[in-house]
Amino acid sequence: MHRRYILIACTLLVAVGAFVATTSVASSSPNPDLSPSLPASSLPKATISESERIALFNLIPADYAASAGITEDSFNNARLLRQTKVGPLYVIPGAAGGVCLTLGSSIGCNDRPTDNSVVIAAYQSDEDGYAVGGGLLAEGYSSVDIAMKHGESTVRAHGITGGFSVDSDDHVKLRGIDHYVAVH
């Protein structure tokens, strides 16, 4: 008699486990995309070669990729935020609002829902040591003021579709950035 209850309990446990696994797989997005609340979601999808996809995916540390929901399929909905003199600045969408930016060997990731004014930024230094790159902005913002450390002047970044950009002629040193103030 106990064997019968054990067999019924095991059967029910397997059925519930199969249901949960099937529901989880069915509800997860095979191609993570940018939240429609991000202006960068209106940018056209980028065409990224398979070799570049692999290189970019390998650039993102596994723990960042996991927390932001970045998968190999994320690159199907990647956007080119801008082309810089040090390479393309790609927006890589993750599940549940996570997002990463890649620029050369630099990355920036955000695993939180994208409701902050400045969502994420990525920079690389040019040959003169000045920052080149940019970042994503939330809806309703047009650019950022970059506050520099040690009371240096504030630099207004260039507003672009979906975010902001910084070029070497802005004379921003990476180590000099203190914080951002989003501009409406």
Instruction: Encode pLDDT of 38-76 as tens digits.
Output: 999 999 999 999 999 999 999 999 999 999 999 999 999
**pLDDT class of 117 with cuts at 50, 70, 90:** confident
- Same domain assignment for residues 87 and 63: yes
Three-class DSSP labels, 25-60: HHHCCCCCCCCCCCHHHHCCECCCCHHHHHHHHHHC
Give residue 26's pLDDT. Answer: 33
Q: What is the pLDDT of residues 126-177, one digit of tens each?
A: 999 999 999 999 889 999 999 999 888 899 999 999 999 999 999 999 999 9
- If 0-12 CB within 10 Å is exposed, 13-18 middle and 19+ buried, where does residue 77 land? middle
- Same domain assignment for residues 81 and 104: yes
- Same domain assignment for residues 41 and 113: yes
Residue type, 90: Y
- Same domain assignment for residues 13 and 79: no
For residue 126, the enclosing domain spans 31-183
Q: Are 138 and 114 in contact (CB under 8 A)?
A: yes
Torsion sign (Cα): 90, 93, 97, 99: negative
- Same domain assignment for residues 132 and 69: yes
Among 17-21, 96-100, 145-149, the minimum mean pLDDT is found in: 17-21
Question: Given the DSSP bridges, would you call strands 131-137 and 118-125 parallel, antiparallel or unpaired?
Answer: antiparallel
- Same domain assignment for residues 46 and 21: no
The whole-angstrom separation of Cα 70 and Cα 29 is 11
